[in-house]
Structure 1
Amino acid sequence: MFSLSNILNFQAALGVLANIFLLFSYTFIILGHRPKPTDMISCQLTFIHIVLLITGTDIWLTDISESLNFENDFKCKTTFYISRVMRALSMCITCLLSVFQAVTISPSTSMLNKFKYKLKKYMIYAFLFIWSFNLLFISNRIFYVGAFTNMSETNQMKITKSCSLFSMNYIIKGFILTVTTSRDVFLIGIMLTTSAYMVIILFRHQRQCQHLHSLSHPRESPEKRATQTILLLVVFFVIMYWVDFIISSIAVLLWMYDSAILSVQKFVMNVYPTITPLIQISSDNRIINMLKNMQSVCHQIFKEG
């Protein structure tokens, strides 16, 4: 019989393995072929998800911290900080991926077309800003998290088995909540806007193909397949975000996290980084062809042996 902890560990292990495979695949594509502008973004998103899944697994972190003799307070602050930074980066990079794909498929008559040939330059600036902002903004929260103590429960809220979030000044709490909410609403708004824009472009392209070729089901181009994949990722992210937001809001209002809420929230948080590599692997013909070539080589070696 599977317990919640076993399900969470299986989910994390599946996500880490899938993301590691995808990371190696993108690295091979970037080094050996002509990469797409969005490949570097997808590669970075994959790395972020690997770290996010590892920091969200209590058993792996407990083993690592015990082997390195880390104190509980240091472990709590470190894992909380890394986890929050990776979650924020996952949202920002997913948004960036959506924006860059919208620019990539924009028609020559669009205003976005002038940015199409400068994507690499803008990408570097975007990476620097996203990482710097999130690393600095979330750094203040490590002062309000630490190992669980025997203090009154009104002064701390248990967020994991051994870590607690301590109460903070109302002004600081209001500032953090305002900036975080504004950032999330802004990014999700951009994701939904670019997604709607891409849907319109795909719909127009579909009608043009049907008119020119008189086909009810024209062959999908790589750009169309990539766009559909990113649309699916964005929709999936937004759904998981709001589910996590509702769970977190209920916990904060009650100022209480029990083991069931923690497990459900952790499962919801890990769904997106676990499913993302599976969607990208199954929808990228370059990776599929690479797998087929590997299978052919292995079959040939086995046959000769």
Structure 2
Amino acid sequence: MNIWNLAIRIIFLSQTTTGILGNLHLKLYYLVLYYREYTLKPTDLILMHLISANTLVILSAGVPQTMVVWGLKQFLNDLGCDLLLYIQGFARSVFIGTTCLLSVFQAMTLSPRKSCWNDHTVKASKYIDCSIPLLWVFYMVIWFTFLMHTFFKMNSKNITRGRDFGYCSTVGRDEISDSLYAALVICPESFFAVLITWSSASMIVILYRHKRKVQNIRSSHGSRRNYPESRATQNILVLLATFLAFYTLSTILRGCIALLYHHGWWLVYISRLTSLCFPCFVPFVIMRHYSILSLFSLIWLRK
């Protein structure tokens, strides 16, 4: 075993383990919060579903790839491969859609009182409970369509092996699959990415204006503390920059793998590492507000 293979194994194992533990920690926090209050705020509800989608992404993509780099290859049959790819695509789509919903709802919440968006905030909070399950069902149906198309293509006489994922192999692509994927997956994901960028930029502008308004009052008291809007701006900037960086890089690498007939395994490894970075990273940004001490305090208050 050379140093390169050992480094890849350690990186995949560390990333998958850290991501699972971080998301499970936040999942436990929200379960305790719901057990204590029997309800969740709209933002907390969206975050709980985002964490669930993150966990599903890591379990369906990170765990099998970690098993591959540690030597266990081609351990899934055709049916298991199709089901796993279905879960991966479904979880990724729900994850991006939920991130978009969270970003847009936060932008509406922070909008000024005289803004037209402020009038829709109360209405939007009422529809959060039903919009998130609809998002899950919507992408479940879309990816079920891909699953059925792949299943019928497997039963055809002209079967050609396409991509090799390490843990399994799929049948070759056709024009119908490419068209469906572009129309039902790539276009919505691109639209969600634009909405995330716009809403996050709007929040930063709103918080910056608010900071400028109260800057004179705070300077008169001689206080140099890190105020809430500064911390919120930093968190939004971190989440926005991280999401856009890893999403863009992951999309470019996935496009290269899809277009290039001959590509090295290093490209596959980097693509899968970048696609897992944001689901593994986002729990620790959220934990800046919800620490383990908050979880224990909730349990103590319940008792």
Decide: shared fold, TM above 0.5. yes
C-alpha contact (below 8 Å) 2:47/2:102 kept by paired residues: yes
Between the aligned partners of 2:76 and 2:176, the Cα distance in structure 1 is: 30
Distance across 1 between alignment mates of 2:167 and 2:218: 63
Mapped to 1, the partners of 2:233 and 2:150 lie a distance apart of 40
Deviations 1:237-266 (A, max 9, x none): 121111111111111111355432222111
* Alignment-mate amino acid for residue 81 of structure 1: Y
Deviates more, 1:233-242 or 1:119-128: 119-128
Gaps of 5+ in 2: none
Separation (CA, whole Å) in 1 of partners of 2:296 and 2:177:
54
Q: Which amino acid aligns with 1:232?
A: V
Residue 269 of structure 1 aligns with which residue? 275
Does the C-alpha gap of structure 1 residues 90 and 176 become closer, same or farther in structure 2, counting only changes over 3 Å?
A: same
Alpha-carbon distance between aligned partners in 2 of 1:257 and 1:135, rounded to the nearest angstrom: 31
Aligned to 2:79: 74
Tell me which of 257, 260, 279 is aligned to 2:285. Answer: 279
User: How many residues are treated as equivalent by the alignment?
Assistant: 280
Deviations along 1:137-167, whole A, 9 cap, x unmatched? 1122225668xx9xxxx93332411423323
Deviations 1:191-232 (A, max 9, x none): 1111111111011111011033336745523x7645642442
Q: Residues of 2 paired with 1:159 and 1:239: CA distance? A: 26
Match of 2:192 among 187, 191, 197: 187
The amino acid of 1:255's aligned partner reads Y
SS at match of 1:199: helix
Pair 1:30-2:56 in alignment: no
Q: Tell me if 1:17 matches 2:17.
A: no
Of 294, 297, 303, the residue aligned with 1:290 is 294
Within the candidate set 106, 131, 138, 2:111 is matched to 106
Indicate which of 156, 161, 165 corresponds to 2:166.
Answer: 161
Choose from 3, 6, 10 the match for 1:6: 10
Q: Distance in 1 between matches of 2:227 and 2:284?
A: 20
Partner of 1:206 in structure 2? 211
Output the amino acid matched with 1:191. I
1:254 aligns with 2:254: no
* Unaligned runs of at least 5 residues, structure 1: 298-305
Aligned partners of 1:281 and 1:248: how far apart in 2? 30
Q: Aligned Cα RMSD in Å?
A: 3.0
Q: What percentage of aligned pairs have identical amino acids?
A: 25
Describe the shift of the 1:243–1:180 C-alpha distance in structure 2 as closer, same or farther (beyond 3 A): same
Structure 1 residues 187 and 255: alpha-carbon distance in aligned structure 2, compared to 1, 3 A threshold:
same
Cα displacement (A) at 1:83: 0.8
SS of structure 1 residue aligned to 2:170:
strand
Contact map agreement 1:158 1:164 (CA 8 A) in 2: yes
Say whether 1:122 aligns with 2:127: yes
Is the Cα–Cα contact under 8 Å of residues 159 and 165 in structure 1 kept in the other structure?
yes
Q: TM-score, normalised by structure 2?
A: 0.81
Report the Cα distance in structure 2 between the residues aligned to 1:110 and 1:9, rounded to whole angstroms: 47
Corresponding position of 2:227:
220
The answer on whether the counterparts of 1:159 and 1:262 sit within 8 Å (CA) in structure 2 is no
